[in-house]
């Protein structure tokens, strides 16, 4: 897997007003943390980070160089976005070791088209554990040979060597259902119909 370089600066200030100043400059706040280090608040240029994410994806391995604070090999653990305007507000970087397995989610990519029925996708990501250098970009699933009534589960996937699946192997990924809708069943036989209002009066 390709690795990417990213520059950052140590962040000494906090608060909404300072965050606003950063964003006005085109920067975003973040933090680098790990088992063998104290949390390090940082700030970085949004455009550069955006380019890394576009090139390497969510599971990109990043060599982040923090000015006057050292170099760290990290992956993005979390990103926080504004609920309304959707702009990036904060980034969490987790320090990693290339010799220690890490748990991540990878996309399940659906290839091909079904000839009949309705394709219902239930699981779009797969939770896996592997060494950072072995993280696949995704798992491809070919649906062109599936028919109505077929179901694809996690244990049907072709998993690369060195990758352990965390999800339940029986979990359903997708199904192909019929396009027809079942008609409602008739009322049970033997049930007496209620007499109409006029019939009830004449019977008295």
Query: Mind listing the pLDDT tens digit for each residue in 164-200?
Result: 999 999 999 999 999 765 555 655 555 555 555 555 4
All structural domains of the chain with their residue ranges? 3-96, 103-177
Q: What is the pLDDT of residues 29-58, one digit of tens each?
A: 999 999 989 999 999 999 999 999 999 999
pLDDT at position 179: 77
CA 178 to chain centre: 28
Name which CATH class applies to 3-96. Answer: mainly beta
What is the secondary structure of the chain as a DSSP string?
Answer: --EEEEEEEE----SHHHHHHHHHTTEEEEEEEETTEEEEEEEEEHHHHHHHHHHH-TT-EEEEEEETTEEEEEEEEEEEE-TTT--EEEEEEEE--TTS-EEEEEEEEEES--SSSEEEE---EEEEEE-GGG--S-EEEE-TT--TT-EEEGGGS-PPTT-EE-S-TT-EEEEEE-SS-PPPPPPPTTPPPPPPHHHHHHT-
Give the whole-number percent of the chain exceeding pLDDT 90: 77
Give the residues across from 7 on adjacent strands: 65
What pLDDT does residue 183 have?
57
pLDDT at 13: 87
From residue 31, how far is each of 59, 102, 123, 176 by CA, in Å? 17, 19, 31, 44
Tell me the C-alpha distance between 79 and 118, whole Å.
Answer: 34
Q: Quick: pLDDT tens for 95-146.
A: 999 999 999 999 999 999 999 999 999 999 999 999 999 999 999 999 999 9
Query: Distances from the Cα of 25 to the Cαs of 29, 32, 88, 116, in angstroms?
Result: 12, 21, 13, 53
| CATH topology identical between 3-96 and 103-177 | no
In words, the CATH class of domain 103-177 is mainly beta
Q: How confident is the model at residue 161 (pLDDT cuts 50, 70, 90)?
A: very high
| pLDDT at res. 15 | 85
The residue ranking higher by pLDDT, 68 or 189, is 68
Nearest to 53 by CA among 33, 28, 84: 28
């Amino acid at each position: 897997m390709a690795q990417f370089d990213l520059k950052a600066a140590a962040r000494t200030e906090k608060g909404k007003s300072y965050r606003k100043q950063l964003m006005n400059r085109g920067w975003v706040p973040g933090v680098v943390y790990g088992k063998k280090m104290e949390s390090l608040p940082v700030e970085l240029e949004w455009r550069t980070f955006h380019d890394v994410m576009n090139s390497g994806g969510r599971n990109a391995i990043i060599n982040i160089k923090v000015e006057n604070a050292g170099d760290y090999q990290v992956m993005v653990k979390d990103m926080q976005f504004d609920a309304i305007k959707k702009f990036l507000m904060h980034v969490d970087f987790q320090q990693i070791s290339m010799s220690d397995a890490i748990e991540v989610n990878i996309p399940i990519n659906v290839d091909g088209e079904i000839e009949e029925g309705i394709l219902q996708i239930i699981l779009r990501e797969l939770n896996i554990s592997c060494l950072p250098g072995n993280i696949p970009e995704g798992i491809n699933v070919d649906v062109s040979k599936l028919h109505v009534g077929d179901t694809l589960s996690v244990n049907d996937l072709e998993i690369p060597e060195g990758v352990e699946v965390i999800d339940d192997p029986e979990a359903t990924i997708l199904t192909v259902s019929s396009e027809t809708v079942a008609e409602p069943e008739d009322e049970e036989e033997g049930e007496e119909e209620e007499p109409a209002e006029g019939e009830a009066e004449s019977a008295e």
